[in-house]
Amino acid sequence: MKELTFGTLIAVFEEVFGRGLFWAMVAFAALITLAYLFVLFRDRAVSWKKFLWAQLSMPFGAIAAVLFVQKMTNSGFVDLGGPIDIIVLLAVAVAGAIGLAILVYTLQSLLGKGTREA
C-alpha cells in the first residue's frame, strides 16, 4: 500500500468492523449529526446546563470507544507496538468522547421537558 486513499480507509474499516456494522455506525452517526444540527437551529442558542452534562459524559465515551475498538480488533493494551498505535488509540478516544457528548446533548434537548433554556 503506497498511498492512503478514502477508498482504502473504507475497506479497512469494513474489514475491522464488518460491512454491516460499519455502515450501521455511519448511518447512526449521520442521524445523530442531523438531529444535533436540528436542535441547534431549533433552540438558536446553546444550553450551558446541557452542555455541562454532555462534557461530563465525555470520559465515558472515550473509554467505551477504546474498549469497543479493542474488542472488534481482538487486541489489548499489551498489543500496542509503537507511537502510531498510541496516536490511533488517542484519536479513537477523542472521537468517542466527542461523539458521546453530541449524543448526550442531543438526547437531552429532544427528550427534555420542552424548555429551551439558553
Task: Quote the pTM value.
Answer: 0.84
How large a percentage of the chain has pLDDT more than 70?
94
Q: Which tens digits make up the pLDDT trace of 4-48?
A: 899 998 998 999 889 999 999 999 999 999 999 999 999 998 889
Residue partners of 95: CB distance under 8 A and separation at least 6: 65
Angstrom distance (rounded) from CA 112 to CA 107: 8
Residue 52: what pLDDT?
A: 95
Q: Can you give the pLDDT at residue 118?
A: 46
Taking the domains of the chain in order of start, what are their residue ranges?
6-111
Q: What is d(CA 109, CA 102) in angstroms, rounded to the nearest whole number? A: 11
Q: How confident is the model at residue 116 (pLDDT cuts 50, 70, 90)?
A: low
SS3 category, 97 = helix
